[in-house]
């Protein structure tokens, strides 16, 4: 069943593990993630960026596909359909389209405007039974054409946003979307600790999960991270498996060009990656 992300994240925070947010791009992606969550008995969050939503013919199409697939596959674990890095308008559109969770990313506004817009969207989300994530301190890297530098959030600003009644907080701690550059300084655990001290029971979100070493992931979970977003890593393994299939000439053998065959190795690669992350985050068996 599709649910708000609130309960699964509160449980994760209390139980010292993290729920994975895996971004979806199409039907294969969605199916691979749902089946792996079911196999590992893990709660899961399906992330949809505004760009991916547009690509999949709009938020309503996405919500209808995910709801129908969740039912048809007989998924029993809690699944949240979550907008990733929403604009003010996009957040409203997803609430209307039937998403069960949203992220409003007001981190590029000054703090007063971020507070005002987040406050309004918290009320709207909760009126509709939907969980809401907010962001303080821009996450670095590129997301749908927007490039940020990987800031460390101000813990006092984090507290102000957390106090608005949001359900999860994304705070920059030196993390970056996409592959980390060789000279990356690593996560700032000092910042994370200070944010955790100020925000207490609030589930914290770690964006840019791709390429963060396992020991840093575990330490971040110890320090209060309850949701970890992974996108690029699934794209990379999907592309590599598909390339291998084509380079081996398998698309030219028999009916190897059939999309159900052509996309199968990539889909299996996503399943393996998602399973690896679920085990690392410790959410297996927690559904
Ligand atoms: P990566 O693409 O680096 O895994 O980040 C995903 C993310 O944070 C989505 O919001």
The pick from 48, 143, 228 for probing ligand 1's pocket by mutation, whose C-beta has the most ligand atoms within 8 angstroms, reads 143
Q: Which two tokens stand for residue 149?
A: 């530098």
Packing angle, helices 214-222 and 189-199, rounded to 10: 20
Q: Which two tokens stand for residue 178?
A: 């996409």
Tell the residue nearest (CA) to atom 9 of ligand 1.
229
* Residue 287 domain flag: no
* Residue 145 domain flag: yes
pLDDT at residue 222 greater than cutoff 70: yes
Q: What is the pLDDT of residue 139?
A: 79
Q: What is the pLDDT of residue 181?
A: 84
Average pLDDT score, the chain: 95
* Residue 179 domain flag: yes
- CATH code for position 224: 3.20.20.70
| Cα 232 to ligand 1 centroid, rounded to whole Å | 6
Q: What is the pLDDT of residue 198?
A: 97
**Number of structural domains found in the chain:** 1
Q: Which atom of ligand 1 is closest in space to residue 206's alpha carbon? A: 8
What domain range is 163 assigned to? 6-281
* Residue 23 domain flag: yes
Q: Which residues line the pocket of ligand 1, CB cutoff 6 A?
A: 23, 47, 84-85, 177-178, 207-210, 229-233
Active site residue 156: no
Tell the residue nearest (CA) to atom 5 of ligand 1.
208
State pLDDT tens for residues 146-160: 555 678 999 999 999
Produce one character per residue of 240-273: b if its CB has 16 or more CB atoms within 10 Å, e if not. Answer: ebbeebeeeeebeeeeeeeeeebbebbbebbbeb
The length of the chain is: 287
* Residue 286 domain flag: no
pLDDT at residue 142 greater than cutoff 70: no
Q: What is the pLDDT of residue 184?
A: 86
State pLDDT tens for residues 168-218: 999 999 999 998 888 888 999 999 999 999 999 999 999 999 999 999 999
* Residue 81 domain flag: yes
State pLDDT tens for residues 78-95: 999 999 999 999 999 999
Residue 158: closest CA among 122, 106, 209 = 106
Q: What is the pLDDT of residue 262?
A: 98
| Cα 250 to ligand 1 centroid, rounded to whole Å | 31
* Residue 75 domain flag: yes
Stated pTM of the model: 0.96
User: 4 CB contacts (<8 Å, ≥6 apart)?
Assistant: 80, 100, 101, 129, 130, 131, 167
Catalytic residue among 10, 70, 84, 154: 84
State pLDDT tens for residues 233-255: 999 999 999 999 999 999 999 99
* Residue 1 domain flag: no
Q: Which atom of ligand 1 is closest in space to residue 234's alpha carbon? A: 4
| Cα 34 to ligand 1 centroid, rounded to whole Å | 18
State pLDDT tens for residues 102-121: 999 999 999 999 999 999 99
């Amino acid at each position: 069943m599709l649910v708000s992300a609130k309960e699964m994240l509160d449980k994760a925070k209390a139980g010292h593990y993290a729920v994975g947010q895996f971004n979806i791009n199409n039907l294969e992606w969605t199916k691979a993630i749902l089946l792996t969550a079911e196999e590992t008995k893990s709660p899961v969050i399906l992330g949809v960026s505004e760009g991916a939503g547009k690509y999949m013919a709009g938020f309503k199409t996405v919500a209808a596909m995910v709801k129908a697939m969740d039912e048809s596959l007989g998924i029993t674990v809690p699944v949240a359909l979550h907008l990733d890095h929403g604009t003010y308008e996009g957040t409203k559109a997803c609430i209307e389209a039937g998403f069960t969770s949203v992220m409003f990313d007001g981190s590029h506004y000054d703090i007063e405007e971020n507070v005002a817009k987040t406050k309004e969207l918290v009320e709207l989300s909760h009126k509709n039974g939907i969980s809401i994530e907010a962001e303080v301190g821009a996450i670095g890297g590129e997301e749908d054409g927007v490039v940020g530098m990987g800031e460390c959030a101000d813990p006092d600003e984090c507290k102000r946003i957390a106090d608005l009644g949001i359900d999860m907080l994304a705070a920059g701690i030196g993390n970056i979307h996409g592959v980390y550059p060789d000279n990356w300084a690593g996560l700032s655990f000092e910042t994370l600790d200070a944010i955790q001290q100020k925000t207490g029971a609030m589930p914290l979100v770690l964006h840019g999960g791709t390429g963060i070493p396992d020991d840093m992931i575990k330490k971040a979970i110890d320090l209060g991270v309850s949701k970890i977003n992974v996108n690029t890593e699934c794209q990379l393994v999907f592309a590599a498996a598909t390339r291998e299939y084509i380079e081996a000439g398998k698309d030219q053998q028999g009916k190897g060009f059939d999309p159900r065959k052509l996309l199968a190795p990539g889909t299996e690669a996503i399943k393996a990656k998602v399973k690896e992350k679920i085990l690392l985050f410790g959410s297996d068996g927690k559904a």
